[in-house]
Amino acid sequence: MPTEKIFRVSVRRLNLRAQPANDAGILAKLAAGQAVVRLDDVDRAGWWFVFADTPGDGIFVGHVWAEFLSPAFALQTDFPGDAIMPGSPPLLDEWDMPEPDPEDDDASPPREPVGGGALIDSDDTTDGAEAEAPAWTSGWNPDVSAERRHVNGAHGARRSNGTIDQVIIHITGTQDLAAVVNTFTKSPGLASAHYLVCPDGAVHQFVAEDQRAFHSGIIKAVRKLYNRGDGSWRQYKRYFSWHKGYPKDAIYLDAAGQVVAPSQRQTSAVLVVPADRSEWPDFQYFDRRWGRLPKPFGYLSDNHDPNNNSIGIEVLSVGARTASSQAYSDEMYSALGALVGDICRRHQLPIQFGTVCGHEDVNPVERWGWDPNQGFDWDKLLRLARLQDHAA
């Protein structure tokens, strides 16, 4: 008997740009007003079975893609009326949801917020942290002030070979800090990063450095592509139901590489290839940057689990394809450079591109050039990180 969990969904946080046909009914109801949603414990490759009670409008039952529910609130006691977060949905879905690997029990993230999961007000996120943090304690950075420490960020234990060999930079796809805090701390354990750097340079921490955060998981089907080692991954993009940019004649494949019928796309498609099975032009960007490598630049070894061996840092940004002070502020670069330099020094990592890289460099099939996107200034970041390293 599955354990039911109760969430309150902030309907304004639901990503309604993408409505799977078979879920249009439930999502329309959710869009009409706040709904109480019950999820069972069994997810079907990211699809959650949902009972939604929309007040005054009856009970709805159906499957909803987990990403739609990531901003849910885990409720412990009652239903506070003001728990809906302001803001608009992220432009890109950038919640870095890890995917449980059936061959690896330990790869499954926890489904409930860790650390008690107590409901907290987004304006008061001290989460029981110490008022003063004079020294490193179990992976918590003393340079991060107590009010920016969110000790209930989703995390798991690092596995035995969990030495840090990468610092992976991301964008959140939104500039809504409260929404990100909510997603990383109150979602059903789907996504998190160790750190978040804001446009004003403020640094938040969600996961202790000695723990594994869920920011760069690679699905098995994509790992298989990289492990071929023949560069053929350039023919594939990950299928995301919210993404509308696949060409009309593209071919959709399931996890086994079989062609998926249009009617099954929402539930079974995992990868997308061009109609002529050629390489996606998006990947020329990577080839210009790295040279034409057989495996992605940041994919360090076969069956590499980046989450187990990295520190993940999110930049609170929607990203940009060209240099943009709106998307990447000077204050952000300064704070990020100081943080990256400090991490590299403490973990004895060379401050160079590769050791420090983007989510898109680790996993281009699932992030084909938009995380942290092409306008991110890597030279500037590395220069600032080296300054920090020398100053320390």
Distance in Å, CB of 92 to Zn ion, minimum? 9
* The one among 29, 158, 170, 223 contacting Zn ion by CB under 5 A: 170
- Region of residue 58 (phi > 0: left; psi between -120 and 50: alpha; otherwise: beta): left
Distance in Å, CB of 70 to Zn ion, minimum? 14
Interface residues for Zn ion in 371-390 (CB under 5 A)?
371
Q: Which stretch binds Zn ion (CB under 5 A): 93-101, 140-148, 295-303, 380-388?
A: 93-101
Q: How far apart are CA 261 and CA 239, in angstroms?
A: 14
Q: Residues 309-348 vs Zn ion: string with x where CB under 5 A?
A: ----------------------------------------
Q: Which stretch binds Zn ion (CB under 5 A): 223-231, 237-245, 289-297, 353-361?
A: 353-361
Interface residues for Zn ion in 144-163 (CB under 5 A)?
none
Distance in Å, CB of 94 to Zn ion, minimum? 6
Q: How far apart are CA 305 and CA 101, in angstroms?
A: 11
Q: Which stretch binds Zn ion (CB under 5 A): 94-102, 124-132, 284-292, 316-324?
A: 94-102
Distance in Å, CB of 170 to Zn ion, minimum? 3
Can you name the residues that pair with 161 across neighbouring β-strands?
A: none
CA-wise closest residue to 85 among 174, 10, 180:
10
Distance in Å, CB of 22 to Zn ion, minimum? 28
8 Å CB contact between 307 and 212: yes
Nearest to Zn ion of 63, 170 (CB atom): 170
Q: Residues 265-294 vs Zn ion: string with x where CB under 5 A?
A: ------------------------------
Q: How far is CA 325 from the centre of its chain?
A: 23
Nearest to Zn ion of 29, 170 (CB atom): 170
Beta strands 5-9 and 73-74 are antiparallel
Angle, alpha carbons 65-66-71 (nearest 5°): 125
Confirm or reject binding of residue 366 to Zn ion (CB under 5 A). Answer: no
Q: How far apart are CA 90 and CA 92, in angstroms?
A: 5
Determine the longest span between alpha carbons in the chain, in angstroms: 62
Nearest to Zn ion of 39, 318 (CB atom): 318
* The one among 332, 359, 364, 366 contacting Zn ion by CB under 5 A: 359
Nearest to Zn ion of 172, 266 (CB atom): 172
Q: Which stretch binds Zn ion (CB under 5 A): 19-27, 75-83, 104-112, 364-372?
A: 364-372
8 Å CB contact between 269 and 253: yes
Nearest to Zn ion of 19, 310 (CB atom): 310
Residue 352 corresponds to which tokens in the numbers above? 């160079």
Nearest to Zn ion of 100, 306 (CB atom): 306
Q: How far apart are CA 32 and CA 266, in angstroms?
A: 23
Residues touching Zn ion, count (CB under 5 A): 4
Nearest to Zn ion of 54, 174 (CB atom): 174
Site for Zn ion, rule CB under 5 A: 96, 170, 359, 371
